[in-house]
């Protein structure tokens, strides 16, 4: 048995519970910030999520934005139209292939978000000073792995969405189907996390 497995099995139920509660608290706080940022920009949460995807990944086609956001291509077109009018996104033609159009953030949006987010660094300085490089690596692994798990859960949930007319009993039955599918998926995801073979860029480099 390697040292990593020994260490993981030595984590007490109390510490594991604290970790889960801390993650959930951080997610709630993040969600609260996102809610206020989108209100500041005068946009909705879906708009904000798509802007965040482009900000993280860089310019991309409408097809890739649809794949990464889970929206239909029609919904992405309407969203980009709306955010282009707002001055936050723009469409640019590929210089190598004029038929290909990319979506990117504008300098105006970048200037606004820089002022909203770049002050977070100094706030974290006190905490970062207490961490070793190895501890930061462990945190990065945990967050990237957690993001991958949630990506898989989101895709699975998307395949099990109840119709709008579903009753609460119908939703319970579909939730049970989702639970069975998630448990069937768990071993392969666990193995990917264990050997660190999971992708970090979940949608790959496809720019279609």
pLDDT score of 204:
47
Instruction: Report residue 150: phi and psi, to 5°.
Output: -65, -30
Confidence (pTM) = 0.77
What does the pLDDT look like over 102-121, one tens digit per residue? 999 999 999 999 999 999 98
pLDDT score of 11:
83
Whether 188 shows a pLDDT value over 90: the answer reads yes
Q: Is the dihedral of CA 109, 78, 152, 170 positive or negative?
A: positive
Total residues belonging to the chain: 208
Mean pLDDT for the chain overall: 91
pLDDT score of 8:
53
Q: Which two tokens stand for residue 186?
A: 């768990």
> Which domains does the chain carry?
11-130 (1.10.10.10), 132-208 (no CATH)
The residue to which tokens 């895709």 are assigned: 155
pLDDT score of 70:
87
Q: Which two tokens stand for residue 134?
A: 């190895």
What does the pLDDT look like over 129-182, one tens digit per residue? 999 999 999 999 999 999 999 999 999 999 999 999 999 999 999 999 999 999
- Based on its alpha-carbon atoms, the radius of gyration of the chain, rounded to whole angstroms, reads 20
In this structure, what is the dihedral angle of CA atoms 176, 177, 181, 183, given to the nearest 10 degrees? Answer: 20
pLDDT score of 173:
97
List residues bridging with 101 in a β-sheet.
93
Distance CA 92, CA 183 (A): 43
What does the pLDDT look like over 14-73, one tens digit per residue? 999 999 999 999 999 999 999 999 999 999 999 999 999 999 999 999 999 999 998 999
pLDDT score of 92:
97
């Amino acid at each position: 048995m390697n040292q990593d497995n020994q260490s993981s099995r030595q984590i007490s139920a109390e510490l594991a519970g604290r970790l889960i509660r801390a993650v959930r608290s951080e997610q709630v706080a993040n969600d609260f910030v996102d809610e206020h940022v989108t209100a500041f920009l005068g946009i909705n949460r879906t708009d904000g999520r798509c802007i965040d995807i482009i900000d993280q990944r860089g310019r991309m086609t409408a097809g890739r934005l649809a794949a990464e956001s889970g929206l239909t291509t029609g919904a992405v077109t309407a969203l980009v139209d709306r955010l282009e009018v707002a001055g936050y996104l723009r469409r640019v033609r590929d210089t190598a292939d004029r038929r290909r159009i990319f979506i990117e953030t504008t300098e105006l949006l970048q200037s606004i978000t820089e002022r909203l987010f770049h002050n977070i660094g100094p706030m974290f300085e006190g905490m970062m000073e207490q961490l070793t490089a190895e501890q930061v690596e462990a945190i990065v692994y945990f967050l990237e792995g957690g993001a991958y798990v949630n990506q898989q859960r989101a895709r699975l949930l998307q395949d099990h969405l109840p119709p709008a007319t579903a009753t609460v009993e119908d939703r319970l039955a579909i939730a049970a189907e989702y639970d069975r599918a998630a448990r069937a998926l768990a071993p392969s995801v666990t193995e990917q996390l264990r050997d660190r073979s999971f992708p970090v860029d979940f949608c790959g480099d496809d720019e279609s």
